Chains A and B, each alone.
Chain A
Amino acid sequence: MLINSIKEGIKKGVETTWMLAKVIVPVYFIITFLQYTPLINWIAEIFKPIMAVFNLPGEAAIILVLGNILNLYAAIGGINAIQLTPLEVTIIAMMLSFSHSLLVETAVSKKLGISVTKVILIRISLAIVSGVIVGRLGAII
């Protein structure tokens, strides 16, 4: 019984690892390449004013978009590819843990009969509020 549970757990773990590898690797490649092009600087410049609210660099916008539209693993590929401080990673992680995989997870919550707008509104507001608070606190400390 216990052996079977462990086997099943390993199987699921490996499956998940494979699934996330398929996401992390391409994202990591694309972002690493982007960093050698001027494009990353343009993106960073454009999002600088918005990201400054959360005490994050402009490039972080890419990670937030990846996490919200795709999933956390895509965001992690991005986090690893861009050089960020532990505080910046914590801010991004905070925001993304409230609001991520919106396409897939909103479909799941819709099955439970709660309105899609409400779910997305709740999650994004939590992300913004927590991002601002942790960002500000982090800046003080």
Chain B
Amino acid sequence: MMNILKEATFGSINSVYSIAIIIIPIMITLQILKDYKVLDKITKPFNFLARIFKTSNETVLPLLVGILFGLSYGAGVIIQSAKEGNLNKRDLTLITIFLVSCHAVFEDTLIFVAVGANGYILLITRLIAAFILTYIFSKKLPAAELQEIRQENLS
């Protein structure tokens, strides 16, 4: 019995420690990126994503925020942009599809690396899968201009 207790105590402390040494530096880095608004400054090179998915350029920032900082932060930025009227329903649906499959990539990947998983496989598969899925949905959902044309034809 004592052995089991000892095993559980040391094992669990060890697990917490191995996660702590990863999570604290990540949080510091993310906080610096956030405070210095680094993402706002580097959205341009990622506008190609908006072109591929045929969404507005306003979708790029919430997408990057979600990928790096996590779903809740991403959702915060999305809700903010939606309130300002920068996003239409299609934009919203597509970024949500991307972000539910792929978010907080550094945090989620590195905590698994800490317990022995292969981080490259994880990160690359997740990004590619989310990209392909969003692309498929972007083909299925007609782009904004098409919707307008259809509505005109109907009316």
A108, B72: Cβ atoms under 8 Å?
Answer: yes
A80, B27: Cβ atoms under 8 Å?
Answer: no
Interface of B is mostly: helix
- Which of the residues A4, A77, A86, A112 comes within 8 Å of B15, measured between beta carbons? A77
Residue interface mask A78-122, B partner, CB < 8 A = 1: 011100101001101110111010000100110111100001001
Interface of A is mostly: helix
CA A108 – CA B74 in complex, angstroms?
10
Contacts of A39 in B (CB 8 A): none
- Which of the residues B72, B89, B92, B111 comes within 8 Å of A72, measured between beta carbons? B111
- Which of the residues A16, A72, A80, A97 comes within 8 Å of B11, measured between beta carbons? A80
Smallest Cβ distance from B102 to chain A, in angstroms?
A: 8
Number of residues of chain B lying within 8 A (CB) of chain A: 52
9-residue interface stretch from B42-50, B93-101, B145-153? B93-101
Instruction: Known A21-B16, A32-B8; judge A72-B108 contact (CB<8 A).
Output: yes
The reply on B19 being an interface residue by CB < 8 A is yes
Which residue of B72, B97, B99, B121 has the most chain A CB atoms within 10 A of its CB atom?
B121
Instruction: Give B contacts to A, CB under 8 Å.
Output: 4, 7-8, 11-16, 19-20, 23-32, 34-36, 71-72, 75, 78-79, 89, 92-93, 96-97, 99-101, 108-109, 111-112, 114-118, 121-122, 125-126, 129, 133
